[in-house]
Structure 1
Amino acid sequence: MTIQPMTGPDDTLATDLTARAAVVAAVAALHAEAVDRDGRFPEEAVAALKSQRLLGAAVPIELGGEGASIRALADICYALGRACASTAMIYAMHQTKVACLTRHGRGDVWRDGLIRRIADEQLLMASSTTEGQGGGNVRSSSAAVETDGESVGLERAATVISYGAQADGVVTVARRNAEAAASDQVLCVFLKEDYTLERLSGWETLGMRGTCSSGFRLVAKGRPEQVLSARYGDVHNQTMTPVSHILWSSAWAGIAASAVDRAQAFTRTAMRGAGGVAPPGALHYARAVSSLKQARALIVQGLDRFEAAGDDAAALAALDFQTAITMLKVEVSELAVAAVSSAMRANGLAGYRQDGAFSVGRALRDILSAPIMIHNDRIVANLATATLMSPVAASLSA
């Protein structure tokens, strides 16, 4: 299966995307407090994403999109993260699904038509990769695709489907057929008219409340073309993991940046009130800045690696690439938590309060989701197993 490259915008388009993202971020920031307080879907921000035509930005030009690069998408996630964490995460998950479809699903009339519709109609695609007791183990499925003549069906109990009730479609994973092993998986895509959702659980969480990631029983029926022919293992390694880790990390860095902004404002205000003397929390502000800079640097390195690999399946499957892109999520999530925590300590009681210009409470609650979505311990344990037979480098240049 040929991997379709993620093309990059020219400078003019990149500037335009930045301006359009700023419009959406302003809307998202205006409603972020209500989204968090009420645990509701950020409908205003998503409407703005559609009106600014950012949901289909990465769809290839030949299929009606703008061909935005992964780097451009990361910048958008960062900008949204500074405004509303839930909006940023929704955008990151949507674009990850779009990337899977455009890189591994093209060449079929129905799927090409769907990709065109995502750009033309600004369809919002949800992700459903976890189910049952498997939790975050996305490389194992219980539910299987059932084939009945000219149609396929799927019924799965999903632990979470982020913004499932609000999405226009869902991209999900399942066993290839009833006889397949749990690890023999395929990616499926269904539109809203193809499935029903039965709510199994709610979404009453500390943060990321606007993602509305309830559990659902998904019952879907569609055409055989709605099951991608590509092996899910290839989709996962070549696209889903690198794109999701880069975009999630960018959203988390944006959340951290919003907290550092408030810590900087508080520290400057405190210094002015004390005749230029730094407040006791200034040390923590410096630590917050350092953690954020480290996170941003790691994201840039991840982008460089992914762009250098391009559509080279061997390069994307290489252990060094997989290790780096896997650990990107782990390291940035930890650094983002550290940055926000340091920002709160810099602001003291003003940061701990839920009200006021220097409050960091919402950012802290949102960012605490980062290490457990998918759990860092699971990721590191899997990576340790994968690297056991790899020799340790004998020199710095090896």
Structure 2
Amino acid sequence: MNVAVAITEDSLSLRAGRVAAVAGAHADAVDSEGRFPHEAVAALRKERLLSIQIPPELGGEGASITVIAELCSILAQACAATAMVFAMHQIKLSSLVEHGADADWHPGFMRRISAEQLLLASATTEGGIGGNLRNSICAIVVNGDRCRLEKDATVISYGAHADAILITSRSNPEAATSDQVLTVFLKDQYSLTRTVEWDTLGMRGTCSDGFLFKGEAPVAQIVPKPFAEIAAQSMLAVSHLLWSGVWYGIAADAVARAQAFVRAAARKSPGASPPGALRLAEVSSLLQVVRSNVVAGLKAYEEAKADADRLSSIAFAVAMNNVKIASSEMILPIINHAMLMCGILGYKNGTPYSLGRHLRDAHSAQLMISNDRILGHTSTMLLIHKQDTSLLG
């Protein structure tokens, strides 16, 4: 079924708003029970938001990463786990949209994603290398027109709930650890044996268990471009930008709750400046810095998309790394400010001003691709590249 239609950004926001209402109603239960946000993902499917990035000729709506980041923010203001599931799905979809359109098999798969609203998961981490996604120990084995893969995937976010998994591996058993490919495996083409349970401080609803993955599929499902190219030209930048959209949404909702608290206090004492008013002004400026950081990163990405050399440049990689570092580190002080403004009502669960879930979810930001790892890569690049100091970019 082809449902390609001209959709405005406003209508996408309205659709995301309806999903956010569903997600928000179940957010506390998803967090406390550590369960997958089934209701919100069903709403994403109902609103047909899982395929919005796919080109219209393949049944999608051709939404830009900038628009998708805005939707991530809308969802995160209601339920960070739902927003992160949506973001990670769109990150994997970007690899297909940007690098699989000219392949034989992958355009048909994108049509199926659009028609059936399939949910994509990612398996890039591995026992022995951790979160170093640019190296693999496992290798895909090709035999005629079939390929087989076994991987000790220490984290597959919502892996048990996905309709397909995009998984990295060495391109063959003799390949170097950095010579990788990305392969699509459909749900009926693999088995998952849980090896690690996802019992965490925050982002509990992403259900990012570890699994032993065993799959077999047609060779045509291997994305034809090297994973190094996919990572450099789309995946890493899109990850940093969409994750930052999620983190901004978490912080924005925390500030909104603090603002509501301060306003309620002001109504009780007309004519007097309520406690927390100055902190509210301060946290507003901090939130604006995060917003500006994400917006600038999105602008840089959209401008660079037309130039493969620019997308693969050191300057671009440094800029995207800096977006991730700044966004992930700044949201914690913002939420802490909001907590201080709301006081015990922010600290307690079950109040209109509760911020415990926000604070716990936000702690994941510095760990999703470790900031220390990213800073290490950036420092290496800056040894050979001059820092861009122009305001014009």
Instruction: Please give the alpha-carbon distance, in whole angstroms, between the structure 2 residues aligned to 1:392 and 1:379.
Output: 16
Instruction: Please give the alpha-carbon distance, in whole angstroms, between the structure 2 residues aligned to 1:225 and 1:207.
Output: 38
Confirm or deny that 1:92 pairs with 2:92: no
Confirm or deny that 1:56 pairs with 2:51: yes
Match of 2:326 in 1: 331
Q: Select 1:386's aligned residue among 364, 381, 390.
A: 381
Instruction: Please give the alpha-carbon distance, in whole angstroms, between the structure 2 residues aligned to 1:292 and 1:393.
Output: 24
Q: Contact (CA 8 Å) 1:194, 1:221: kept in 2 or not?
A: yes
Instruction: Please give the alpha-carbon distance, in whole angstroms, between the structure 1 residues aligned to 2:233 and 2:103.
Output: 20
Instruction: Please give the alpha-carbon distance, in whole angstroms, between the structure 2 residues aligned to 1:12 and 1:182.
Output: 43
Q: What is the deviation of 1:28? A: 0.5
Q: Contact (CA 8 Å) 2:135, 2:177: kept in 1 or not?
A: yes
SS in 1 for 2:134: coil
- For 1:342, the aligned partner's letter is H
- For 2:250, the aligned partner's letter is I
Confirm or deny that 1:234 pairs with 2:238: no
Match of 1:145 in 2: 140
Instruction: Please give the alpha-carbon distance, in whole angstroms, between the structure 2 residues aligned to 1:273 and 1:280.
Output: 12
Q: Select 2:362's aligned residue among 361, 367, 377.
A: 367
Match of 2:280 in 1: 285
Distance 1:126 1:393, change over 3 A: closer
Q: What is the deviation of 1:15? A: 1.5
Unaligned 5+ runs, structure 1: 1-8
Match of 1:358 in 2: 353
Which structure 2 residues correspond to residues 59-74 of structure 1 after superposition, within 5 A?
59-74=54-69
Which structure 2 residues correspond to residues 183-222 of structure 1 after superposition, within 5 A?
183-222=178-217
Q: What is the deviation of 1:72? A: 1.2
Match of 1:345 in 2: 340
Instruction: Please give the alpha-carbon distance, in whole angstroms, between the structure 2 residues aligned to 1:276 and 1:79.
Output: 34
- The two structures have a TM-score, normalised by structure 2, of 0.96
Q: What is the deviation of 1:276? A: 3.7
Instruction: Please give the alpha-carbon distance, in whole angstroms, between the structure 1 residues aligned to 2:164 and 2:34.
Output: 22
- The two structures have a TM-score, normalised by structure 1, of 0.94
Instruction: Please give the alpha-carbon distance, in whole angstroms, between the structure 1 residues aligned to 2:313 and 2:92.
Output: 23
Deviates further, 256-265 or 129-138: 129-138
Question: 1:138-195: CA deviations, max 9, x gaps?
Answer: 1111110111222001100111000000000001111111101111111111110110
Deviates further, 154-163 or 308-317: 308-317
Instruction: Please give the alpha-carbon distance, in whole angstroms, between the structure 2 residues aligned to 1:81 and 1:319.
Output: 31
- For 1:190, the aligned partner's letter is F
Deviates further, 347-356 or 194-203: 347-356
Q: Contact (CA 8 Å) 1:283, 1:346: kept in 2 or not?
A: no
Q: Select 1:177's aligned residue among 162, 172, 177.
A: 172
Unaligned 5+ runs, structure 2: none
Instruction: Please give the alpha-carbon distance, in whole angstroms, between the structure 2 residues aligned to 1:363 and 1:36.
Output: 10
SS in 2 for 1:134: coil
Instruction: Please give the alpha-carbon distance, in whole angstroms, between the structure 1 residues aligned to 2:249 and 2:392.
Output: 33
Aligned-residue Cα RMSD (Å) equals 1.7
Q: What is the deviation of 1:326? A: 1.3
Distance 1:106 1:342, change over 3 A: same
Instruction: Please give the alpha-carbon distance, in whole angstroms, between the structure 2 residues aligned to 1:189 and 1:225.
Output: 9
Percent identity over paired residues:
48
- For 1:297, the aligned partner's letter is S
Distance 1:331 1:392, change over 3 A: closer
Q: What is the deviation of 1:277? A: 2.6
Instruction: Please give the alpha-carbon distance, in whole angstroms, between the structure 2 residues aligned to 1:243 and 1:253.
Output: 15
